[in-house]
Amino acid sequence: MKGQPEALDFTLEPADNDRLANLCGQFDENLRQVERRLGVEISNRAHRFRVIGDQAAVSAAVNVLQDLYNASAEEELSPENVHLFLQDSAVEERVREGHEKARGEEVVIRTRKAEIRGRGPNQQGYLRNIRDNDLNFGVGPAGTGKTYLAVAAAVEALESDAVRRLVLVRPAVEAGERLGFLPGDLAQKVDPYLRPLYDALFEMLGFDRVAKLIERNVIEIAPLAYMRGRTLNQSFIILDEAQNTTVEQMKMFLTRIGFGSTAVVTGDVTQVDLPKGTASGLRDAVEVLRDVEGVSFTFFSAADVVRHPLVQRIVQAYDRISEARDGNSGA
The pLDDT tens digits of the residues spanning 78-98 come to 888 888 888 777 777 766 666
Strand 41-45 versus strand 48-53 pairing type:
antiparallel
> What phi, psi does 263 have (nearest 5°)?
-125, 140
| Residue 304, beta-bridge partner list | none
In CATH, what number does 6-99 get? 3.30.1370.10
Angle, vertex CA 285, rays to CA 23 and CA 305, nearest 5? 65
Whether residue 275 is preceded by a cis peptide bond, meaning omega within 30 degrees of 0, is no
pLDDT at 200 over 70: yes
User: Which ranges in the chain are annotated with CATH 3.30.1370.10?
Assistant: 6-99
Query: pLDDT at position 1, please?
Result: 42
Q: How high does pLDDT run on average in the chain?
A: 84
Lowest mean pLDDT among 112-121, 131-140, 170-179, 253-262: 170-179
pLDDT at 331 over 80: no
pLDDT at 185 over 70: no
More confident residue, 257 or 174: 257
Please state the three-class secondary structure of 196-220 as a single string: HHHHHHHHHHCHHHHHHHHHCCCEE
Report the C-alpha gap between 158 and 282 in whole angstroms.
26
In CATH, what number does 109-300 get? 3.40.50.300
> What phi, psi does 142 have (nearest 5°)?
-65, 150
Instruction: Supply the DSSP symbol for 147.
Output: H
Lowest mean pLDDT among 115-119, 120-124, 181-185, 281-285: 181-185
pLDDT at 23 over 60: yes
Report the C-alpha gap between 176 and 168 in whole angstroms.
19
pTM (2 d.p.): 0.73
Report the C-alpha gap between 172 and 298 in whole angstroms.
24
Report the C-alpha gap between 46 and 27 in whole angstroms.
14
Condensed to tens digits (0 to 9), the pLDDT of residues 214-228 reads 999 999 988 888 888
